[in-house]
Structure formats: structure tokens, C-alpha cells
Amino acid sequence: MAKKPEKQTLKPDRIPMLERPPEKRAADFLEVPLGYTVNQAKDEASRCLSCKNRPCKDGCPVGIDCGGFVARVSEGDFAGAVKLVKEKNLLPAITGRVCPQIDQCEGPCLIGKKGESLGIGNLERFVADWEREHGVVLPDKAAPTGMSVGIVGSGPAGLTVAADLVQLGHHIVIYEALHEPGGVLVYGIPEFRLPKAIVAEQIGSLQDLGIEIRLNQVIGKTFTIDELLLVHDAVFICVGAGAPIFMGIPGENFIGVYSANEYLTRSNLMRACYFPEWDTPMLPGGKIAVIGGGNVAMDGARTALRLGAEEVSLVYRRSLEEMPARAEEVRHAREEGIRLMLLAAPTRILGDSSGHVSAIELVRMALGEPDASGRRRPVPVEGSNHALAVDTVIVAIGQQPNAMIASTTPGLEVDRRGYIAVDKKTMATTRDGVYAGGDIAGWGASVIRAMGDGRKAATAMHQYLMSKKE
């Protein structure tokens, strides 16, 4: 009689990734997590239960076979693990660092029912970094189709569309408005979370596949979408939603009030964090208030700390349980000394006689019934107004689309908020041959969700291009 396989013992505790100590990392822009060693990666991968239905794969917006690549890591087959990941994602060194795995692949992990879910994101980062150290292997490409695609924007959605379509034999040109490619990966996410060198390497591997990137091209001004359609067979729009949203309270015009978009762009893309090596200084702040509770707010607060602020307060109108930022980012911020002012909301910004910020007035909040977001609605507590002395305010409460492309593209429908209307299955817009995805499509995409949009769009665009060729 054949011997029954032994039941795998559950290992409930995740192997933690080494991190730089808070007192050191808060003073520079070097990356915080240090990654797994080979033995740590193999040990963490061995925690996988090898589920038959692999719910982790269903949780991945780009469809990575998580269980498959994890099994190869546990066996020490790192090259095989990389190959399996890159069948669905050519940017694993990026997604392994910034993807909200706990809400995606790690969320449905069965180990998480009785312990800590498998560290799929940590393992993805490990195999990506292993490949970077041992030589990047480019995927095969199909024979040229003779079809051309213009991609407007070089953020995660656009890079994914480009990667998928170039492998299928199409000629790809990316048009980027800024002077470096990468979109939010370079202007939005700080160096300590996603080193710029890694972004450049990942984009460089796409260029090695034959993808062309044209910088300083503001579509809607340099060219219109209609003009792009004269030279390309299809167009994908992924310009993000980079126009800032302010609070609409008195005092937002004082000197020292930034949108998070401007603050992070100055620090990241314009290298203000390296002044005077880079001659793009930013107004220094001693006491800083950051308004918001998402990842962008955390990035702004932690960046301000590294730029020399003596005190950084993050003001959020709900409680910690409702905070939308990744748990890891919240933990890192608190470890580094960021002060969380929960259940508080700004009512006005105060200034001095020279027009500079001097304080921000706050009101305490209480949580009422859930609103449309499913979170409990914050309600002001009457008579609880108080002032917080600050000299800089960073507003991180969201973004909205720039209307330039929609206003210069006849027949391109947008919703009441200005986001491009798309078919959510194909990412097709109301213009023939034009597709869109990521933040500009209206659902506040994370990096990996934007890439999921790109994956869906690439599939639909390939079908469209091949039917057009017939």
C-alpha cells in the first residue's frame, strides 16, 4: 500500500524582512527594507501550503502564478521563479516593493486564516533582485506585425501595455510629458520606498525589447490624440490624475501650503532632496502638517522628515482603523517619529503678516454612521476647535484629472468628474482605436491595479490591431 504523504505543518509566523533602523533611515533617502537572503527566501517560500485552487493568483490584478513561483523559490530554482513571474509582469522589482500585496495576492492566502499570510510580495522582490544581480533575461518576441501603438504616459499602466504588445510583435512608442520616464514611479513614490535606479533598470529592459520612449511630449499640446492616430494604429492613454485637490478652506493661498503632488515631485523628480548637489531647493519647514491618511500622505510626511523637519504631524479625520495607507507605511512612519493626529480635520490655515503659514486650525471629529465608502462618517465635535502651530502644510487628500486630452479630443467621453469613460473589460474608450487605463480611468488605481488595466487593454488592443490588419 502506498504511503500517504505527510501532512504539511503550518508555520504561522512570516519571516520578517530586515529593515534599516528608524533613527538612521529617517535622516536619509536610502531604501528602508533590505530584502531577503537566499535562506530567508527559501524558508519563507516553504511556508506555502501549495493550495490546489491557488487563491493568491486570483487576487493578483495581472494574474501572476504566485503559488508556482513560490514553489520554485522553495526549491532554490530562482531562475525558474523569475521566468514564471515575468510571464505576467516584466516589472517585478517595482511591484515587489510597492504593490499592496495584503489587499491583493496575500489577502486570500489560507495561511493567513490561522497566522500571518505568506510573504508573496517579499518573495517577488527577492526573485527580481536576484535576477538583477545575475543578469536580466529578456523574453522572446513575436515576428513584427507591422502595426504601431502610441502610448500616452509612461507610468505603470503604460509600461505594462508596452511590455505586453511589444512581445506580440507590435511597434511601440511611449510619449512622456516629463523629462524622465516612469510616471508616478519617479515623481510620486519616494526613493526610500522605490529607488530611482531600480525604476530606470526596469524601464531600460523594456527599451532593450525595442520600445521607444519620447520625452517632453505633452499630448494635447505637442500632438493631439487625433494626430497620433495618423501615425499609429491604436493609442493607449494613461496620463494619471495629477491635478491636485485642495480642501477649499480659508488660508490655502499662504506661502508654505503645498499640494502633495508638488511637494513629492519637487523632491523626487527634481531632486530637491539632494540640494545643493541638485540646484532645485524646496522651502524648508520646521513644523509640518500633512493632511490625509493614504499612501501619498505617508510619503509626504516621511519625505518632510528626511528634508529636515523638526516635527511632522499627519492629520487624518478618521481613526487608525479606517486609514487607507498600507499598514507597513503606517508602521514605518510611526517608528520614524511621525505624529498621527487622528479624528481631526482642518477648518482654516492661519498666516503671519508676511503671508507665510503660521498655524492650522483643527476641529476634533467623532465617527458616525458609514458613508458611501463603507467607512464611518467623521462628524465635527462642536466647540473643539484648536490651533496647531506649523510653518508648512502639505495637502494629500486626492487628485483629479487634467482636462487637456479630453478637451482636445472630439468624441472622447468623460464622466462628470472628468475621468475618461472606458469599457471596464477592454479599457476601450468611446473613440475607435483609443484605450485608457490607470488613474485617468477613474478608480484611483494603485500601481498594480493600473498594471491590471494595462494587461486588459493590451489583450483587447492586440485583437483590435490584428482585426484591423486583416
C-alpha cell at 77: 530554482
Q: Which CATH architecture has domain 18-134?
A: Orthogonal Bundle (1.10)
> Which of 3.40.190.10, 3.30.360.10, 3.50.50.60, 3.90.1150.10 would CATH assign to domain 244-399?
3.50.50.60
Helical residues (DSSP H) of 260-317, grouped into ranges: 260-268, 295-306
CB atoms within 10 A of CB 208: 10
Q: Give which of 186, 135, 59, 151 is closest to 458, Cα–Cα.
A: 151
pTM above 0.85, yes or no: yes
pLDDT given at position 353: 94
Are 174 and 162 a contacting pair, CB within 8 Å?
A: yes
- Euclidean distance between the first and the last CA atom of the chain, given in angstroms as a whole number: 59
Across-strand partners of 41? none
Domain extents in the chain? 18-134, 148-242+401-469, 244-399
Across-strand partners of 172? 149
Query: Does CATH number 3.50.50.60 belong to domain 148-242+401-469?
Result: yes
Cα dihedral across residues 229, 232, 238, 244: positive or negative:
negative
Distance CA 129, CA 36 (A): 10
Same fold, 148-242+401-469 and 244-399: yes
Distance CA 436, CA 428 (A): 7
Q: How many CA atoms lie within 13 A of 377 on its CB side?
A: 6
- What tens digit of pLDDT does each residue of 440-466 get? 998 666 888 888 999 999 999 999 999
- What tens digit of pLDDT does each residue of 121-142 get? 999 999 999 999 999 888 889 9
User: Would the pLDDT of 12 be above 50?
Assistant: yes
Q: Residue 2: pLDDT band by 50, 70, 90 thresholds?
A: very low
Instruction: Give the mean model confidence (pLDDT) for residues 78-105.
Output: 88
